[in-house]
Amino acid sequence: MDLRAKLQAATKEAMKARDSDRLSTLRLIGAAVKDREIALRGSDGDGGALTDTDLIAILSKMVKQRQESAKAYEEGGRLELAQKEENEISVIQEFLPRQMSADEIATAVDTVISELEASSVRDMGRVMAELRARHAGQMDFGSVGAMVKGRLLG
C-alpha cells in the first residue's frame, strides 16, 4: 500500500473511531499534500502527481515545523499548546520511515564518503545529495551535515 492510500485509510479509521485530534492532524496532512499538488500542477503541467518521496518530504517538513512550534510554546510557558504539537508530531511520524540510529547514520555517512571518494569539504554537497537520495525521511539532515563536515575535515 502506498503512502497516500495509508493516509486515506487512516483518515477513514479516525472518522469511524470519532478520534477528533487524530482526524484533525490527518486532515492537515491531506491539506498540505493537496496544496503541494496544486502548486505542481501550476508549475509543470503534469497533473501534480506526487511520489512517496514527495510525501515523505512534506511529512518531514511538517514534523520539523511542529518541533519548532512546540519548543517556542514551551519557552513561552504554553505547555498545553506544546503538548498538542507533540501529539501531532506522533501522528505524522506514523507515516514516515523508521528513523536511523546514530550508529546507522555514521555507517551510512562513512559508506557514502568512501563510495564517492570524497576527500574535502568541497565534496560535501555531493555527499549530502547522495545521503538524501538514499535515506530520505530517515535522518535529520541538519545534524548529519555537521557530521559529514567533520568527517571530511578530519
pLDDT of the residue at 1: 66
Q: In the predicted model, what is the mean pLDDT of the chain?
A: 88
Return the residue matching grid coordinates 506526487.
50
Q: Give residue-wise pLDDT tens across range 35-82.
A: 998 888 876 555 567 888 888 889 988 998 999 999 999 999 999 999
Q: What is the mean pLDDT of residues 112-120?
A: 88
What are the residues whose beta carbons fall under 8 Å from the beta carbon of 145, sequence distance 6 or more? 124, 128
Return the residue matching grid coordinates 510554546.
73
- Specify the length of the chain in residues: 154
pLDDT at 154 over 80: no
Question: For a pLDDT cut of 90, what percent of the chain falls above it?
Answer: 49
pLDDT at 90 over 60: yes
- Fold (topology level) of 102-153: Arc Repressor Mutant, subunit A (1.10.10)
State the pTM of this model: 0.74
Task: Measure the N-to-C terminal CA separation of the chain; round to a whole number of Å.
Answer: 43
The domain locations on the chain are 3-93, 102-153
pLDDT band per the 50, 70, 90 thresholds, residue 140 = confident
Q: Give residue-wise pLDDT tens across range 95-110.
A: 988 888 889 999 999 9
Q: Which CATH class is domain 3-93?
A: mainly alpha
pLDDT of the residue at 111: 92
Q: Give residue-wise pLDDT tens across range 7-24.
A: 999 999 999 999 999 999
